[in-house]
Amino acid sequence: MLQPEVIAFLRSILDCGLLEREHLKECVRALPGERRSDPRAVAEHLVKGGQLTRFQALRLLKGGRPGLNLGPYVLLEPIGKGGMCRVFAARDARDGRLVALKVLPPSRARKDERLLVRFQREIALMDRLVHPHIAGKHDAGAIDDIHYLALEFVPGKSLFRFVRAQGPLGVQAAARLFTQVADALEHAHGLGLVHRDLKPSNLMVTPEHRAKVLDFGLALQIGELELVEVIGGRGYAVGTMDYISPEQAVDSYLVDERSDLYSVGCSLYFALSGRTPFPEGSKRDKIKQHIRDEAPRLGQLVPNLPSEFESVVATLMAKNPQDRFPSARVLKEVLATWGEDNPWRGL
C-alpha cells in the first residue's frame, strides 16, 4: 500500500499533466515494493526512466504548488537567467513543440515597471525578426500577471560552451559559423536594429553546426528616443564588458551597426583562441581596455593562423568605427571566401 507522501507526490504529477494515469501506474509497478514507500525513490526512478526531469522531480518533492505549468506550457528545466527574466526549456502541450520560455516574474515587473515595458518591446521586436539564423518567436502573452515569450528552442550549445568543451575553432569552421551570424545581423540592421549584446553565449551552435543568434532584449532601434530610459544606454554602458565596443562603452545610445561588428570581432577572437581579448581586470578595467588598449595579436595565440584572417578580426576590432567593415553584408561576403564544403573537419 502506498504511503500518503507517495500518493501526494503521484497526484501532483497528474495534476500538472506530466504523465498519463495509466503510464504512471506502470512506472510505479516497475519499482520494487520496498521502494514504493519513499517518494524520493519513486522520483529517482521516474527521472532515470526519462518520465520526469530532475528539475521537475525536485519541484514536485517540495510539495505545494510546484509551478511547472504556465498556461499550455509545461516547464522541463531552467536553461538561462538574465537581469530581468528566467528562461526554461518547456513543452507546448497543444502541439508537443519544445520552446525556450522566457518568463518575467510578477515581482520584478511590479518592482520596476520599466522591465515590463522592455519585455513587451522585445516581444514586438521578435515579430519583425524572422530569419533562419535568429531564434524566432513562437508565442507570447500573460497568465496570472506572469508575462512570457516563447521562442524557438535551439538544440546544441552556445558558442561559449562549445569552445569551452571542444576547444577553439579552426579558421574555416569559424568563418562558416560567423558568415551565418553576419547574415542574421544584416537582417536586423536592415530593420534599423543594433543588437548591443553580441557575445558567444548569445550565439547557439546547433548539432548541424549552424548558427542562431539569441536575445534581442537590449536591441536599440536607431533614432529611438521615447524609450531610452527603458532600454538603457544614454550616457552609460549597456552590454557585456568582454565584448563591448569602445563607443558603446562610452554611450550605449550612440551606436550603429558597426558596434555589433566590433562585438562580432571579439566573439571571433574568443572562438579562435579560447579567450577574450581582455580577460583580466574589473568591468571598469575592461571598459578602459576596449577604449584605449590593443588586444594581444591573435597570431600570437593561435598557431598557424593566416595573417589575412588575423587582419579580418583586427579590422572588426578597430577602435574607430570608420576603420571597421562598413556593414554586416560586407563582412558576410569577406567571411564566405574562407568557407569550404566541410569546414568542421579537423575540429
User: Cα 252 to the chain's mean position, in Å?
Assistant: 21
Maximum distance among all Cα pairs of the chain, rounded to whole angstroms: 76
User: Catalytic positions, please?
Assistant: 197
pLDDT of 331:
97
pLDDT of 313:
97
Q: Do domains 69-152 and 157-336 have the same CATH topology?
A: no
pLDDT of 343:
47
pLDDT of 330:
97
The pLDDT tens digits for 138-192 are 999 999 889 999 999 999 999 999 999 999 999 999 999 999 999 999 999 999 9
pLDDT of 347:
41
DSSP structure string for 143-169: ETTEEEEEEE---SEEHHHHHHHH-PP
pLDDT of 75:
95
pLDDT of 234:
58
Q: Is the Cβ–Cβ distance between 260 and 194 less than 8 Å?
A: yes
pLDDT of 342:
46
* Domain map (residue ranges) of the chain: 4-61, 69-152, 157-336
CATH code that applies to domain 69-152: 3.30.200.20
pLDDT of 84:
76
Cα separation, 263 vs 258, in Å, equals: 9
The pLDDT tens digits for 220-252 are 888 766 555 555 555 556 778 899 999 998 888
pLDDT of 145:
86
> Superfamily for 157-336?
Transferase(Phosphotransferase) domain 1 (1.10.510.10)
C-alpha cell at 201: 553565449
pLDDT of 237:
61
DSSP three-state, residue 92: strand
Cα separation, 27 vs 135, in Å, equals: 36
Give every residue of the chain whose pLDDT is below 70, as ranges: 1, 83, 224-237, 340-347
Cα separation, 238 vs 220, in Å, equals: 11
